[in-house]
Amino acid sequence: MENMTLNQFSTAAASKDPVPGGGGVSALAGSLAASLAQMVTNLTIGKKKYLEYTFELTDLRKELEILRVNLLGCIQKDADAFEPLAAVYALPKDTPGYQEKMEDCLRKAADSPLLILKYAARIIDLDERLSIIGSKLSVSDAATSVMLAHGVLYGAYVNILVNTRLMKDEDYARNLEDEAIKILDEYSVKALNIYDDICKRLSE
CATH number of the structural domain spanning residue 176? 1.20.120.680
Whether 159 has a pLDDT exceeding 90, the answer reads yes
Whether 81 has a pLDDT exceeding 80, the answer reads yes
Residue 5 lies in a domain: no
User: Which of 178, 157, 185 lies closest to 30, judged by CA?
Assistant: 157
> With a threshold of 0.85, does the pTM exceed it?
yes
Residue 141 lies in a domain: yes
| 204 — pLDDT class (breaks 50, 70, 90) | confident
Residue 184 lies in a domain: yes
Mean pLDDT, range 41-61, rounded to an integer: 96
| 170 — pLDDT class (breaks 50, 70, 90) | very high
Q: Does residue 149 contact residue 191 with C-beta atoms inside 8 Å?
A: yes
Residue 15 lies in a domain: no
State the Cα–Cα distance between residues 164 and 170, nearest whole angstrom. 8
Whether 2 has a pLDDT exceeding 80, the answer reads no
Mean pLDDT, range 152-170, rounded to an integer: 96
So what's the pLDDT on residue 179?
Answer: 97
Task: Reduce the DSSP state of residue 204 to 3 states and report it.
Answer: coil
Whether 152 has a pLDDT exceeding 90, the answer reads yes
Residue 16 lies in a domain: no
So what's the pLDDT on residue 53?
Answer: 96
Q: Which phi and psi angles does 2 have, rounded to 5°?
A: -70, -15
So what's the pLDDT on residue 107?
Answer: 95
So what's the pLDDT on residue 34?
Answer: 98
Mean pLDDT, range 124-136, rounded to an integer: 96
* CA-based torsion, 76, 77, 79, 80: positive or negative: positive
The mean predicted confidence, pLDDT, of the chain is: 94
User: Which of 6, 155, 7 lies closest to 74, judged by CA?
Assistant: 155
State the Cα–Cα distance between residues 124 and 142, nearest whole angstrom. 9
Domain range spanning residue 78? 21-203
Residue 66 lies in a domain: yes
pLDDT in tens, 89-119: 888 888 888 899 999 999 999 999 999 999 9
Residue 4 lies in a domain: no
Number of compact structural domains in the chain: 1
So what's the pLDDT on residue 93?
Answer: 84
| 85 — pLDDT class (breaks 50, 70, 90) | confident
Whether 1 has a pLDDT exceeding 80, the answer reads no
Residue 14 lies in a domain: no
Mean pLDDT, range 47-65, rounded to an integer: 97
26 compared with 19, residue with greater pLDDT = 26
